Structure 1
Amino acid sequence: MGGSEVDHSKYPFIVYLYNQAEKTFCGGSIISNVWILTAAHCIKTASKNDILVFVGQGEYNLDTSKGSKVAEINNHPQYNDGTMENDISLLRLESEITGGDVSTISIDTTDVGDGVKVSALGWGYTEPSGTQASHNLKKGDMTTLSKQKCGAIDTKFTGNNGPRICVAADTGTDTCPGDSGGPLIREVGGKNVLVGITSFGTAGAGQTISVNCGGPGMISIFTHANYFKSFIDSTTGGLRQIEGSPNQEG
């Protein structure tokens, strides 16, 4: 919710995926010519035949004929659906991504820190009580928070260079249902890099993203992509770029 509509051509690494078993949708990021990075809670126990990935589409449209099929699902082996720890998944597509209207995004390998300007992308609900996806891709600008501020709400948070990244979510801009799995990005050297994966939001005391996104005292939690680089590398065996894809400027 909040944020502003953006042109998909400026962020051609983002995809959305539909879980046909759960009847839910999420975001994801293209990190190679066949690999999509998303959140494990978007997949849960779904089979590869349950998931469709929509590549190169700026408008949300569940035309299943346009969905790419998944050949392999790799949820993190220590993913915990109760605590949302290790909320990361890698999907290998059946067919290689081609064409000049899509591109990969590189994982940010620098320290994140506190007070860093970041942006979340997605087609999630635009109201806390909403039931409809945003028709157009939206981007919300946010700022990372300190361990002192976030740790009081999320006891699993150890700082922004740990497994989770924390941002303020009570400033009128927040991730909502449907944004899960999508990218948290920032600009480094004039290019967008992938910082995190949208995971969940909370204000403590059991209040979650699904019931109170953008509410008072809310924070949003993202899986820190670079923290899980060894999982990504061992699962993918190396990342190949998309031939002819554009370079991503900020």
Structure 2
Amino acid sequence: MAQRTWRFTGALLALLLGACGGGDEEPEVAITDPVQRCAGIGVQPYVANGTSCVPSAATPVVLLLVRDRDGDVGACSGVKVAPGRVLTAAHCVDAQTRAVAGIVWNEQGQATQIRASGWVAHPSFSEGDDYYVDDVAVVSFPDELPGPSAPVLGQRSPRAGQAILIAGWGAPDYTLAVGSAQLDKVAPDYLRIAYDGSLSNACPGDSGGPALRSVGGRQAVVGLVSTGTQDCKAGGQTFFVNLSKPAVLSFIRREVPQAEVL
């Protein structure tokens, strides 16, 4: 059910071990141009027709490595919303979590880690029949993370038919990627897309990554990748935490008072 963390080995693993309602308006046009997609998170595409983006300090989208009490390491995505503060999915930092690090890249493409000083999940986080409830957490860092902070679109509820960008570090390539989708349902707890193989979808490893809406020429976070029914295959549904839910928005305001809320 869940777009849970992915397991891996290699250089990134060594870094930490060394240390996925409605509305009656017409559907919007989703962004399909790869350059525009990557520009939505402040980066450039690897290739002209691709959707994978070059890792850069110019984006608020963060790769998080997570180590559990057994020493296993996985990863989730997140989004920087204030200096030293990253939103991610609560299921990424459950009770088994023992260490979290944010991975950053320099201009030469070399990765380094910034160890988190703490993390807190929404107190009402729980697993429902089809989706997680209040699947949001805040990861804190003692040092500034590079990149801009994204505003949170919490005071305007999104509507079905609206276009979003989805960004994360998940499957199939486990590189920074951004795609476009359209919301097919908006409920108090979640935003949902029904994936038919066109446009884009969130995949395992994208958990905690942002769903973004353009507001006044800026990309604001409206949701976080939470869970899906088909591991990003066609025919499934993907759920995002609805950040405009009052209980979720108040949690963000309390834990990240510096966050800009639109």
- TM over 0.5: same fold? yes
Query: How far has the Cα of 1:55 moved from its partner?
Result: 3.6
Residue 87 of structure 2 aligns to which amino acid in structure 1?
Answer: L
Q: Say yes or no: does 1:113 pair with 2:159.
A: yes
Aligned CA distance change for structure 1 residues 240 and 125 (closer, same or farther; 3 Å): closer
1:137-174 residue CA offsets vs partner (Å, 9 max, x unmatched): 2111100013xxxxxxxxxxxxx251210112223421
Query: How far has the Cα of 1:226 moved from its partner?
Result: 2.6
**For this pair of structures, how many residues does the alignment match?**
204
Instruction: Quote the residue 2:9 is aligned against.
Output: none
Q: Say yes or no: does 1:76 pair with 2:122.
A: yes
Instruction: Flag structure 2 segments of 5+ consecutive residues without an equivalent.
Output: 1-31, 33-49
Instruction: Quote the residue 1:153 is aligned against.
Output: none
Partner Cα distance (2:74, 2:149) in 1? 24
* SS of residue matched to 2:148: coil
Instruction: Quote the residue 2:188 is aligned against.
Output: 162
Instruction: Quote the residue 1:39 is aligned against.
Output: 89
Aligned CA distance change for structure 1 residues 230 and 16 (closer, same or farther; 3 Å): same
Query: How far has the Cα of 1:7 moved from its partner?
Result: 4.5
TM-score (ref. length: structure 1): 0.73
Partner Cα distance (1:39, 1:69) in 2? 18
* SS of residue matched to 2:116: strand
Aligned CA distance change for structure 1 residues 46 and 11 (closer, same or farther; 3 Å): farther
Tell me, yes or no, if the aligned pair for 1:35 and 1:90 is still in contact at 8 Å: yes
RMSD: 2.8
Aligned CA distance change for structure 1 residues 192 and 181 (closer, same or farther; 3 Å): same
Instruction: Quote the residue 2:41 is aligned against.
Output: none
Query: How far has the Cα of 1:56 moved from its partner?
Result: 5.3
Instruction: Quote the residue 1:221 is aligned against.
Output: 239
Residue 161 of structure 2 aligns to which amino acid in structure 1?
Answer: G
1:175-229 residue CA offsets vs partner (Å, 9 max, x unmatched): 1111111011011111111011000112xxxxx53xxx2232x111000123211
Query: How far has the Cα of 1:24 moved from its partner?
Result: 1.3
TM-score (ref. length: structure 2): 0.70
Instruction: Flag structure 1 segments of 5+ consecutive residues without an equivalent.
Output: 127-132, 147-159, 203-207, 242-250
Q: How does 1:1-250 map to 2 (within 5 A)?
A: 4-8=51-55, 12-21=59-68, 22-47=72-97, 49-55=98-104, 66-81=112-127, 83=129, 84-97=132-145, 102-108=147-153, 109-126=155-172, 133-134=173-174, 136-146=175-185, 160=186, 162-172=188-198, 173-202=200-229, 208-209=230-231, 213-216=232-235, 218-227=236-245, 228-236=248-256, 238-239=257-258
Aligned CA distance change for structure 1 residues 116 and 13 (closer, same or farther; 3 Å): same
